[in-house]
Amino acid sequence: MHWADVLADELIKEDKKHVLATGITPSGPIHIGNMREILTTDAVFRCLLDKGVKGELIYVADDFDPLRKVYPYLSKSYEKYVGMPISDIPCPCGKHKSYADHFLISFLNSLKEIGVKPKIYRANEMYKKGEFNNAIQIALDNTEKIKDIIQKISKRELPKDWIPFNIRCEKCKKLTTAKAVLYDYPIVEYRCDCGYEGEVDIRKGGVGKLPWRVDWPARWKMFGITFEPFGKDLGTTGGARDTGVKIVEEIYGYPAPKYTVYEFIMLKGKGAMHSSKGTALSAEEMLKMTPPEVLRFLLMNNQPSKHLVFDSGLGLLNLVDEYDKEERVYFGKEEAIKGMKDLKKVYELSQPYDISKKIPLQLPYRHLVTLVQIEKKWSDIKKILLRTNQIPKDLSPEDDKHLKQRAEHVKYWLDNFAPDIVKFEVKRKMPKINISVAQKKFLSSLLKNITKKTWDAENIHNSIYDSTEEVKIPIKTGFNTIYQIILGQEKGPRAGYFLSNLDKDFVLERIKEAVK
Ligand SMILES: [Zn+2]
Ligand SMILES: [Zn+2]
């Protein structure tokens, strides 16, 4: 059984409406690890609906969280905002309402593309509207108990004057520097490091925030959450999940939600993806270079607990090939191979939107990598595809859209992540070349061999072989000669296929010019 079905079955043992939650703090570029969290939850949610069970998928953006530090991708001017809620800090590019929106909006767009449609809640709005007030009062009334739980379970000593409430200083607007002096419902008196002394009324919204270890369980109760996965950093012994379970049960009187712990995703050659380090690959970028169904496939095809390495280099091409193969098997065009587990479910969960009734038109991804470097515009790429019979004349609008979308992903990948080895540029004028007499002979022979033949990949490929044999040069030298005269470089894409996509006359003229 697929892992998402196993988790869904676990949930429906309890006959009630299920609320599946994911919460991500948009304090920086939202990284691919977060994508795993949200897609894991989405998968369980879809399985629940499949089983005819009522459920809701929610996403709580903790945009009332304070900025922790000046991250490497921020300018020094952000120093003054450290400690302030990220919803109240200006956006780094100037185009968004706030710092939080700057990162959140692009992530929400990514979710749309990847087919995840949660109900969205923003913590800053909820706090400011007073929706946390009751949870705050309960926490403050149980200060000693909560302190005890956290100290015992996390084995961490809390300061004597600690209370489960971070006051937002009215003067400096920071959530991290005010210390409570006295709590007497509904007033909390405080003194801030900025020198300000004042008091807040907790019946008013937005005057402070529950600390993370209390905020999380309070949320479980408020939304009636029954399932929420979390990264392994929160699942450590004595971590936020452990204290959260105790707090939600003993203080808020609500059972802790079910969960699964997911592993991080590593970027090949770069280490774990943590947004706070600023080196992480953002979810948005990952989605720009990876077709959405393929990104989903990567996560659906692996248990959440499996450690994954995402290779933004050539590995990406292999991943797409793997997906395409899975698709052929799903539609009965090919036999399954060993290792294809839960194939039907994996394929279905990989679809951002509806599952196609018939197999989408497949074009080897590597071919697209070649084609988008020959022509820039999709309409021109399509002309090549039509001329070379790689797509039918009556291409369906769905297939057109699908291929175009893939071409866009390839382009982004080539511009930003692809290794040089796959990159090339067709030189419109003869580049500087350095070829021997033997190589010239090879080109003359090739010209003779292919002029009369039909211009297709196989004929070209065979002619190259024949001509290298005729003039007795290694096949490698033959290819190298072709790349030199067309691309001005030593290496290139598979020659037969590559040349077949170029205009025949253009290639023949170039060869003639080279042998002159
Ligand atoms: Zn912005
Ligand atoms: Zn202050």
Q: What confidence score (pLDDT) does residue 280 get?
A: 59
Least confident of 4-13, 31-40, 402-411, 456-465: 31-40
Q: Is residue 434 a contact partner of residue 443, using CB atoms and an 8 Å limit? A: no
Instruction: Name the token pair of 486.
Output: 């067309």
Q: For the residues 304-310, what does the mean pLDDT come to? A: 92
Q: Is residue 135 a contact partner of residue 218, using CB atoms and an 8 Å limit? A: yes
What is the rounded CA–CA span in Å between residue 231 and residue 272?
A: 12
pLDDT of 3 > 60? The answer is yes
Q: Measured in angstroms, how far is the CA atom of residue 112 from the centroid of ligand 1?
A: 19
Q: Measured in angstroms, how far is the CA atom of residue 88 from the centroid of ligand 2?
A: 15
Q: Measured in angstroms, how far is the CA atom of residue 173 from the centroid of ligand 2?
A: 6
Q: What confidence score (pLDDT) does residue 233 get?
A: 82
Shortest-distance ligand to the CA of residue 178: 2
The angle formed by the CA atoms of residues 452, 453 and 457, to the nearest 5 degrees, is 145
Read out DSSP for 426-448?
--SSPPP----HHHHHHHHHHHH
Each residue of 154-175: pLDDT tens digit?
999 999 999 999 999 999 999 9
Confidence band for 424, pLDDT divided at 50, 70 and 90: very high
Q: Measured in angstroms, how far is the CA atom of residue 144 from the centroid of ligand 1?
A: 41
What is the rounded CA–CA span in Å between residue 362 and residue 359?
A: 8
Beta-carbon neighbours within 5 Å of ion ligand 2 = 169, 171-172, 192, 194, 196
Instruction: Name the token pair of 107.
Output: 């992530």
Q: Measured in angstroms, how far is the CA atom of residue 107 from the centroid of ligand 1?
A: 12
Q: Measured in angstroms, how far is the CA atom of residue 197 from the centroid of ligand 2?
A: 8
Confidence band for 53, pLDDT divided at 50, 70 and 90: very high
Contacts (Cβ under 8 Å, ≥6 apart) of 106: 30, 282, 284
Quick one: which of 59, 200, 207 has its CA closest to 127?
207
Quick one: which of 212, 299, 313, 215 has its CA closest to 264?
299
Q: Measured in angstroms, how far is the CA atom of residue 180 from the centroid of ligand 2?
A: 12
What is the rounded CA–CA span in Å between residue 196 and residue 433?
A: 74
Q: Measured in angstroms, how far is the CA atom of residue 510 from the centroid of ligand 1?
A: 48
Q: Measured in angstroms, how far is the CA atom of residue 26 from the centroid of ligand 2?
A: 24
Q: What confidence score (pLDDT) does residue 41 get?
A: 97
Shortest-distance ligand to the CA of residue 169: 2
Q: For the residues 285-292, what does the mean pLDDT come to? A: 93
Q: Is residue 409 a contact partner of residue 418, using CB atoms and an 8 Å limit? A: no
Shortest-distance ligand to the CA of residue 94: 1
Each residue of 362-394: pLDDT tens digit?
999 999 999 999 999 999 999 999 999 999 999
Q: Is residue 152 a contact partner of residue 243, using CB atoms and an 8 Å limit? A: no
What is the rounded CA–CA span in Å between residue 86 and residue 177?
A: 15
Q: Measured in angstroms, how far is the CA atom of residue 205 from the centroid of ligand 1?
A: 26
What letter does residue 425 receive in the DSSP assignment? -
What letter does residue 258 receive in the DSSP assignment? B
Contacts (Cβ under 8 Å, ≥6 apart) of 191: 178, 179, 181, 197
Report the predicted TM-score, pTM, of the whole model to 2 decimal places. Answer: 0.92
Shortest-distance ligand to the CA of residue 29: 1
Read out DSSP for 367-419?
HHHHHHHH-SSHHHHHHHHHHTTSS-TT--HHHHHHHHHHHHHHHHHHHHT--
Q: Measured in angstroms, how far is the CA atom of residue 96 from the centroid of ligand 1?
A: 4
Q: Measured in angstroms, how far is the CA atom of residue 78 from the centroid of ligand 1?
A: 14
Which residue, chain included where needed, has tokens 């894409």?
493
Region of 269 (left: φ > 0; alpha: ψ -120 to 50; beta: rest) is left
Q: Measured in angstroms, how far is the CA atom of residue 171 from the centroid of ligand 2?
A: 5
Average model confidence (pLDDT) for the chain? 94
Q: Measured in angstroms, how far is the CA atom of residue 405 from the centroid of ligand 1?
A: 26
